[in-house]
Amino acid sequence: MSLIIIGTVAFDAIETPFGKTDKIVGGAATYASLAASYFYNKTKIVAVVGDDFQQADIDTFKEHGIDTEGLQIKAGEKSFFWSGKYHNDMNSRDTLITELNVLENFDPIIPESYQDCEYLMLGNLTPQVQQTVIKRLKNRPKLIVMDTMNFWMDIMMDDLLETIKMVDVLTINDAEARQLSGEYSLVKAARKILAMGPKYLIIKKGEHGALLFHEDQIFSAPALPLADVFDPTGAGDSFAGGFIGYMAKVQEVNFHNMKNAIIYGSALASFCVEKFGTEKLLNLTAEEVSERIQEFIKLSAFTIEVE
Amino acid sequence: MSLIIIGTVAFDAIETPFGKTDKIVGGAATYASLAASYFYNKTKIVAVVGDDFQQADIDTFKEHGIDTEGLQIKAGEKSFFWSGKYHNDMNSRDTLITELNVLENFDPIIPESYQDCEYLMLGNLTPQVQQTVIKRLKNRPKLIVMDTMNFWMDIMMDDLLETIKMVDVLTINDAEARQLSGEYSLVKAARKILAMGPKYLIIKKGEHGALLFHEDQIFSAPALPLADVFDPTGAGDSFAGGFIGYMAKVQEVNFHNMKNAIIYGSALASFCVEKFGTEKLLNLTAEEVSERIQEFIKLSAFTIEVE
């Protein structure tokens, strides 16, 4: 039994008010698999890179127990590259460079050893590629989580809706939930999106936390207020990875466990932004994670005896 | 012992995507005192109106047990009037008309019977008027809560800082916290604002809930996701009124009670926006309030056994 994470493995060059990096390893599958690795030791990635990707970079995954058999390395090609600059508020950014490179013709090959997949995280990619992964798994996973973004809503809504129909959990941000549903109220937006197929909807609100919708239930998770956000890159992917890693650990898919998974995902996202790139995600201890969870508990707990 | 609420009592003409009203009774002190009246039966207002204010309007306060001895009625003058139109997202609005009228020379007279004030809510007014009220009370109240807005930060920051220094709790929104402190991070903003004098800071984030800061503690309160927001007018004042009304009820000023007071305030705000103007706040039952509190508990509760 395993957890498969599909998404980008890439090089990023990031500039924030606190500094800038050269090309460092990034990508949704990188952040998500590192985050998941703190909860589940059978995490496997499906991704594609060029031969500019170093053995040392691959070793980083292995050191975290992440299976890289599904990481294709294309000789003579270059890895996906993204460069961006964050504004002073750290909530908005400009994309400076996007070079698709190997991603342009990404055919997600699923190794035979991955066919034991029970948990599947579809990182943000074209809806067709996401759908291909589902179809190439001989047995439908117990839980399929899909991340996507406004870009696919703009240019290929039909394909997107077809893929959304096939998944259990959709994660998008509040603006995307409004765009996808045509509803401003997130309650109404959630009703419409749940009618599109997914049984659970997670609306990510960045510094305002996240909302989980399932049938007529809603859970509101806080975000940890941070004094310093060093680099927001990968926060959403760390959230998704922590979320599905925790679900794979606890095994049972229900609303109770998903609420907790959102808190664990939020905790991993809060670590991610404390340093540049994946740096903070590379060396977390179990104690640090436990302490962070305690902070979330303290942050949102209140006790009212209703009369 | 009593709770005094000072603020505007006014006429509003409101337009939202769901309809529009003629001149209806509004104002910060109106919303706040009605909200407080559900928790505390010795609520008294200090405000000023013109002789266009009807006896029936005054009776509404009395029916809710609100003492109106401090409501000055200026013969031959007109009440404060505000007219606004909300955009489709209900989060932004245009002010169409602001007629200060009686508010222009508002001298807040404190009746002798109000000198038993233990809890004081300073609704959004000029910082000088707010300060005058504090000075006219012979004994310093046990708890002074102050609401303010960006407008006073723009035009009279020195007076504002002087008044802020004198209060226990400051309530502002996130943009205002950033403006007042010059810090984008709300954690850093809160540290600076708490250093200005108040022991507690409440940052209101509308549909994203509220944050309470005290020393090194933070509480994150959710907002109830609503399918329909009919009219947001008065939500912040209902929050403040519910908050201080609950504090007056439970008497003891501490972080634990303040967390609960924020939930009660949020509940009252969530009722307020369900109908036009004060309509919903006029006829709540204790059962409705209890049920709403249960919804808040359900919304944000999770149980993690940290290893």
Neighbours of A39 (CB within 10 A): 23
Q: Is B229 close to A185, i.e. CB distance below 8 A?
A: yes
| CB-CB neighbors (< 8 A) of B227 in chain A | 185, 187-188, 191
B89 has a pLDDT exceeding 80? no
Express each pLDDT in A50-70 by its tens digit: 999 999 999 999 999 999 999
Q: Does B175 touch chain A (CB under 8 A)?
A: no
Query: Which neighbouring-strand residues pair with A278?
Result: none
* Digit-coded pLDDT (tens) for B124-173: 999 999 999 999 999 999 999 999 999 999 999 999 999 999 999 999 99
For the record, the structure tokens of B107 come out as 């001298």
CA distance A258 to chain B (A): 10
Picking from A217, A228, A290, the nearest residue to B306 by CB comes out as A290
Comparing CA positions, the residue from A259, A272, A205 lying closest to residue B174 is A205
Nearest to B176 by CA among B195, B201, B200, B148: B148
Type of residue at A251: Q
A221 CB neighbours in chain B (<8 A) are 300, 302
**Is residue B26 predicted with pLDDT exceeding 70?**
yes
DSSP string across B65-105: T-EEEEEEEETT----EEEEEE-TTSS-EEEEEEE-GGGGG
Shortest CA gap B299–chain A (Å): 5
Residues in chain A: 307
Flag if A297 and B286 touch (Cβ within 8 Å): no
Please tell me the predicted confidence (pLDDT) of residue A262.
98
CB-CB under 8 Å, B225 with A187: yes
Is residue B62 less than 8 Å (CB to CB) from chain A? no
CA distance A184 to B89: 6
Question: B209 CB near a chain A CB, below 8 Å?
Answer: yes
Neighbours of B1 (CB within 10 A): 12
User: Is the pLDDT reported for residue B90 higher than 90?
Assistant: no
Contact A29, A8 (CB under 8 A): yes
Name B204's bridge partners: B173, B210
pLDDT in tens, B39-66: 999 999 999 999 999 999 999 999 999 9
What pLDDT shows up at residue A88?
78
A256 vs B: CB within 8 A: yes
Query: Taking residues B73-98, what's their average pLDDT?
Result: 91
CB contact under 8 A, B88 and A188: no
- Among A159, A140, A243, A158, which residue's Cα sits nearest to residue A201? A243
Smallest Cβ–Cβ distance between B226 and the set A90, A185, A219 belongs to: A185
Whether B261 has its CB under 8 Å from any CB of chain A: the answer is no
Minimal C-alpha gap between B130 and chain A (Å): 31
Residue contact A220–B299, C-beta within 8 A: yes
Instruction: Enumerate residue ranges in chain A where pLDDT < 70.
Output: 307
Q: Where are the alpha helices (DSSP H) in A196-234?
A: none
A170: left (phi over 0), alpha (psi -120 to 50) or beta: beta
Return the pLDDT at B73. Answer: 97
The residue type at A212: L
- Residues in A closer than 8 angstroms to B191, CB to CB, are 227
Place of tokens 């980008």: A8
Interface contact flag, B188 A89, Cβ < 8 Å: no
Q: Which residue has the tokens 């109240």?
A: B141
Q: Cβ atoms within 10 A of the Cβ of B149, count?
A: 16
- If you classify domain A2-7+30-39+109-300 with CATH, what class do you get? alpha beta
Cβ neighbour number for residue B286 with a 10 Å cutoff: 9
- Sort out which chain A residues have CB atoms less than 8 A from B303's CB and list them: 256, 260
Interface residue A202 vs chain B (CB under 8 A): no
| Contact between A222 and B220 using a beta-carbon 8 Å cutoff | yes
Q: A286 to chain B: which residues are within 8 Å by CB?
A: 307
- In chain A, the residue whose alpha carbon lies closest to the alpha carbon of B178 is A89
CA-nearest of B233, B251, B183, B237 to B213 is B183
**HSE (CB half, 13 Å, CA atoms) of B147?**
25
With contacts defined as CB-CB under 8 Å, which chain A residues touch B89? 184
Touching check for A218 and chain B: CB below 8 Å? yes
Residues of B (225-244) whose Cβ lies below 8 Å from A: 225-229
ipTM score of the complex?
A: 0.94
The pLDDT value recorded for residue B307 is: 61
Distance from CA of A64 to the nearest CA of B (A): 21
Model confidence at B306: pLDDT above 80: no
**B187 lies within 8 A of chain A by CB:** yes
**Poorest-confidence range of B80-84, B86-90, B228-232, B258-262?**
B86-90
Summarised one tens digit per residue, pLDDT across range B180-223 is 999 999 999 999 999 999 999 999 999 999 999 999 999 999 99
Q: Which of A300, A305, A307 to mutate to test the interface with B (most CBs of B within 10 A)?
A: A300
From CA A32, how far away is CA A10, in angstroms rounded?
A: 13
Which is nearest to B174 in space by CA: B152, B203, B207? B203
Asked if the C-beta of B177 comes within 8 angstroms of chain A's C-beta atoms, the answer is: no
Cα A84 from Cα A82, distance rounded (Å): 7
- Which amino acid appears at position A241 of this protein? G
Is the Cβ pair A297, B304 closer than 8 Å? Answer: yes
Phi, psi (deg, nearest 5) at residue A20: -140, 155
Cα separation, A139 vs A156, in Å, equals 27
- Residue B285 touches chain A, beta carbons under 8 Å: no
Nearest CA in chain B to A289: B306
Q: How far is B138 from chain A (nearest CA, A)?
A: 34
Contact B220 A219 (CB under 8 A): no
Task: Give the residue on B whose Cα is nearest the Cα of A184.
Answer: B89
Residue A186 sits at the chain B interface (C-beta within 8 Å) = yes
Q: How far apart are CA B218 and CA B199, in angstroms?
A: 12
The pLDDT value recorded for residue A157 is: 97
Contact assignment for A302 to B259 by CB distance below 8 Å: yes
Residues A187, B286: C-beta atoms closer than 8 Å: no
Record: contact A185-B228, CB cut-off 8 A: yes
Q: Cite the DSSP H helix spans in A213-254.
A: 235-250
- Using the Cβ of B220 and the Cβ atoms of chain A, whether some distance falls under 8 Å is answered with yes
pLDDT attached to residue B24: 95
- Domain boundaries, given as residue ranges, for chain B: 2-300
Q: Which CATH architecture has domain B2-300?
A: 3-Layer(aba) Sandwich (3.40)
Query: So what's the pLDDT on residue B305?
Result: 81
Tens digits of per-residue pLDDT, A181-219? 999 999 999 999 999 999 999 999 999 999 999 999 999
Q: Write down the pLDDT at residue A307.
A: 61
Whether A219 has its CB under 8 Å from any CB of chain B: the answer is: yes
